[in-house]
Amino acid sequence: MTVIQTSSKQKTIKKSVSLKGVGLHTGENVTMTFNPAGADHGYAFKRIDLEGEPIIEADANYVVNTQRGTNLEKNGVKIQTSEHVLAALMGMDIDNVLIELDAPEPPIMDGSSKFFVEALEEAGVEEQKADREEYVVNDVISYKDEATGSEITVIPAEEYQVTTMVDFGTKVLGTQNATLEHLSDFKDEIADARTFSFLHELEMLLEHGLIKGGDLNNAIVYVDKEISGATMKKLEKAFNKKKLSVKPNGILDNLTLHQPNEAARHKLLDVVGDLALVGTRIRGKVIANKPGHYVNTQFAKKLHKIIKMERRNYVPKVDLHATPVKDVNQIMEMLPHRPPFLLIDKILELSDKHVIGVKNVTMNEPFFVGHFPGAPVMPGVLQIEAMAQTGGILVLSTVPDPENYLTYLLKIDNVRYKQQVVPGDTLIFKLDLISPIRRGICEMQGQAYANGKLVSEALIMAQITKVKGN
């Protein structure tokens, strides 16, 4: 298993902070507000200009378009060019923030993450109680776009690192590299790297009515072709400039590069922002060759899927011989079940958010008498019942007198059986709270494991009710 809980804590911001600007492609004025968020919230965008103020999580699976930025959509609600904002949050080592917008696109500002970083610094960063989860890369994982030759690979490393290698194939901007050795260097080395465009791309965008909020202060324009007088006049009109010129370094108008490899650094910024959509911190080195939003987000989707599968197939590392948190006698003090319907033997871990229980499956189980006597298999429904009993310990542990309560199942969803359970197997049940317990109602994600494999899983909702007369 490579998804781990680290000793470092999750972080959010201390207070809300707002910025105003214009969307690069929509040209709309927009106010964006960073708000503190609770543990395990992650990054999410909230469209306060729409009815119901819908929320779109920063999730790779919501990426619908990468033409001129990373664009998200959920239930018909869109967020455009999310990458610079997400890069700032990652670069500032923040885990949980709600981003409110009164338009579909964050402000472009100067085309970098600099102003977002400054706003987050103004808000202040604070630790939360919850541990941070991290995906530890143990094997090489790659994604390649065969059409363009763009490729992203992640390899094992001691911390999150990113290297970008770009080759634009033009005289004005050839091969460049950029590297982020430590995330803590993002603010000083990467955050102010501005977005850029080539003149031929700019002409196409203007013809199609795009970059309505663009001007020569929020993007670097590299002149990769001769400019006719007619084209120059169009550009002057589009950018409301009386006079435009091409500087000796091939840049349109009066911008000065922050670094000679600013283009490669901005590509790195985009990689950091796009990979924030994975939703889990990465401990590994990302090497991006000719990165772009399409290959970045396809890689993010692949990594997200791998992490999800590994998390689902994760067998809890427990010592089956350790002194249990609750033995069978203590379990019977909490649960009303008795043999042969008591289906768990001991509890190995118990917190306010999770529980791990164990059942040793033996041939003398009464259900084996009638359930395939010639080829005994534990019924799937009894696996779920045992899982629910384990979850009952979790929910009953929230009251001071559990012996005076009964636990009732309210709902079971998404039940899946993966492997057969046979005599001699040791079943390990792990249940995690999905949401806080309210009014005695508990919603849990449960998994059962045997022989190092996931054998069954279910989403369980239960409620504890006080026994009448007690």
Q: What is the DSSP letter of 405?
A: E
Q: Which residues of 243-259 are buried (b: 16+ CB within 10 A; e: fewer)?
A: ebebeeebbbbebeeee
Do 380 and 281 lie in a common domain? no
Dist CA 77 CA 55 (whole Å): 8
Do 294 and 338 lie in a common domain? no
Residue 256, both tokens: 């000065």
Residue 439 is predicted with a pLDDT of: 82
Those residues with Cβ within 8 angstroms of residue 294's Cβ, 6 or more apart along the chain or in another chain: 66, 145, 150
Residue 276 is predicted with a pLDDT of: 98
Last residue of some domain: 268, 286, 312? Answer: 312
| 249, part of any domain | no
Do 266 and 170 lie in a common domain? yes
Do 293 and 377 lie in a common domain? no
Which residue has 């990652």 as its token pair? 90
Other CB atoms within 10 A of residue 67 CB: 12
Least confident range from 79-93, 173-187, 189-203, 371-385: namely 189-203
Where is pLDDT greater, at 316 or 371? 371
Last residue of some domain: 285, 312, 339? Answer: 312
Residue 384 is predicted with a pLDDT of: 97
| 231, part of any domain | no
Residue 158 is predicted with a pLDDT of: 95
Cα–Cα nearest to 252, from 208, 204, 197, 210 = 197
Range of the structural domain that residue 353 is part of = 328-466
Q: What is the DSSP letter of 185?
A: G
Angle between helices 229-238 and 199-207 (to 10 degrees): 60
With 70 as the cut, is the pLDDT of residue 213 above it? no
What are 39-95's pLDDT values in tens digits? 999 999 999 999 999 999 999 999 999 987 999 999 999 999 999 999 999 999 999
Other CB atoms within 10 A of residue 233 CB: 11
Residue 313 binned pLDDT confidence (cut-offs 50, 70, 90) = confident
Q: Contact 221/246 with Cβ under 8 angstroms? A: no
Do 303 and 432 lie in a common domain? no
Do 417 and 271 lie in a common domain? no
Residue 207 is predicted with a pLDDT of: 61
- Residue 292 C-beta-side C-alpha neighbours within 13 Å: 15
How many distinct structural domains can be found in the chain?
A: 2
Top-ranked range on mean pLDDT: pick from 5-9, 197-201, 354-358? 354-358
What are 232-272's pLDDT values in tens digits? 777 766 666 677 767 666 677 656 788 989 999 999 999 99
321: annotated active-site residue:
no
| 292, part of any domain | yes
Last residue of some domain: 283, 312, 341? Answer: 312
Residue 411: CATH number of its domain: 3.10.129.10
Residue 39: CATH number of its domain: 3.30.230.20
| 129, part of any domain | yes
Dist CA 367 CA 370 (whole Å): 6
Do 289 and 409 lie in a common domain? no
| 100, part of any domain | yes
| From 293, 304, 337, 354, active-site residue | 293
User: Stretch 151-169: mean pLDDT, rounded?
Assistant: 93
Strands (E) across 108-150 are located at 125-136, 141-144
| 238, part of any domain | no
Do 35 and 126 lie in a common domain? yes
Tell me the pTM: 0.73
Dist CA 100 CA 48 (whole Å): 6
Do 301 and 418 lie in a common domain? no
Q: Contact 37/98 with Cβ under 8 angstroms? A: yes
Quote the mean pLDDT of the chain.
Answer: 90
Amino acid at 463: Q
With 60 as the cut, is the pLDDT of residue 174 above it? yes
Cα–Cα nearest to 93, from 178, 179, 15, 13 = 13
Q: Which residues of 197-211 are buried (b: 16+ CB within 10 A; e: fewer)?
A: bbbeebbebbeeebb
Residue 31, both tokens: 């106010």
| 263, part of any domain | yes
| 112, part of any domain | yes
293: annotated active-site residue:
yes
Do 292 and 378 lie in a common domain? no
Do 300 and 441 lie in a common domain? no
Residue 216 binned pLDDT confidence (cut-offs 50, 70, 90) = low
With 80 as the cut, is the pLDDT of residue 194 above it? yes
* Residues β-bridged to residue 180: 162
Do 333 and 307 lie in a common domain? no
| From 41, 258, 354, 371, active-site residue | 371
With 60 as the cut, is the pLDDT of residue 215 above it? no
* H or E element in which residue 272 lies: helix 262-275
Q: In Å, how far are 23, 61, 116, 274 from 66, measured between CA atoms?
A: 16, 13, 21, 10
